[in-house]
Amino acid sequence: MLDKKINHPLHGKKNKSFCFSDATMVKVQKIIARYPEGRQKSALLPLLHIAQEEFEGYLSVDVMDYVAGLLNIQPIEVYEVATFYSQYYLDSVGKNVIEICRTGPCAICGGEKMQQYLEKRLNIKTGETTPDGLFTLKAVECLGACGSAPVMQINTEFYEFLTKEKIDQILDELTLKAKEEKPEKSLWKEKFF
């Protein structure tokens, strides 16, 4: 079972109200239309991806309640799903989420060393976020890219055949990008959903 701790007290509910932008709402309607009448709950997984991206980078109780309302299902139906799948974050995360693969094929190609190096370079432990809020480091299971091991994924991008030098370069670039004045809003959901 996921070792995700549900240290996400429902009393953390702040009764903030959320609302997708009009453009996202169009997407949302299109996604719901992929499933038969009355089966709108099927859209839950895709919608949670979008909500996580559009709102705070993680799924707060208020966000989950909003999605429940959109799909006309009970909030508990959203919580039980959000706590099951590892790609939904229940706690706030940094601007960039680094997911380093820790599974066998990567491990025998130096993946564990890369994870250690990331911890050292970011000066945090796996699972933590840097104080400047730029990076969260997570270790995940096989990313389906074992032929290019060691592998990590940052946000939606894959980085393959990792070396220490490569990691330095990637992190430097991301740090620089974050400093630029107008952070470019990720466009993946425009392209991908």
Partner 1 sequence: MERKILLKNIAVPGIRTFEVFRSTGGYRSVEKALKTMSPDEVVEEVKKSGLRGRGGAGFPAGMKWSFIDKKSDKPRYLICNADESEPGTFKDRFLMEKIPHLLIEGMICSCYALGAKTGYIYVRGEYKYIIGILNEAIREANANGFLGKNILGSSYSIDIHVHSGAGAYICGEETAMIESLEGKRGNPRIKPPFPAVVGLYGGPTVVNNVETLANIGFIVNQGGTEYARYGSGKSTGTKLISACGNINNPGVYEIELGLSVREFLYDPQYCGGIKNDKKLKAVIAGGSSVPILPANLILQTASGEERLFTYESLAEGGFVSGTMLGSGGFIVYDEDACIVRNTWNLARFYHHESCGQCSPCREGTGWMENVLHRIENGQGRTRDIDLLVSIAAKIEGNTICPLGDAAAWPVASAIRHFRHEFEEHVLHPERCGHDL
Binding residues for partner 1, rule CB under 8 A, total: 52
Member of 28, 97, 106, 137 binding ligand FES (CB under 6 A): 106
Query: Quick check: 5 binds partner 1 (CB under 8 A)?
Result: no
63/109 with CB nearer ligand FES:
109
25: nearest Cα among 16, 33, 36, 17:
33
Stretch that binds ligand FES, among 16-24, 73-81, 114-122, 145-153 (CB under 6 A): 145-153
Query: Quick check: 140 binds partner 1 (CB under 8 A)?
Result: yes
Give me 158's structure tokens: 């894959």
3-state SS, one letter per residue, for 59-99: CCHHHHHHHHHHHCCCHHHHHHHHCCCCCCCCCCCCCEEEE
Contact 155, 97 (CB under 8 A): yes
Taking every pair of C-alpha atoms in the chain, what is the biggest distance, in angstroms? 52
Query: Quick check: 151 binds ligand FES (CB under 6 A)?
Result: yes
Contact 21, 67 (CB under 8 A): no
Kindly list the residues in this chain that would bind partner 1 in the complex (CB under 8 A). 1-3, 34, 36, 39, 41-46, 48-49, 71, 73, 77, 80-81, 84-88, 102-105, 107-110, 112-113, 116, 140-149, 153, 156, 158, 188, 191-193
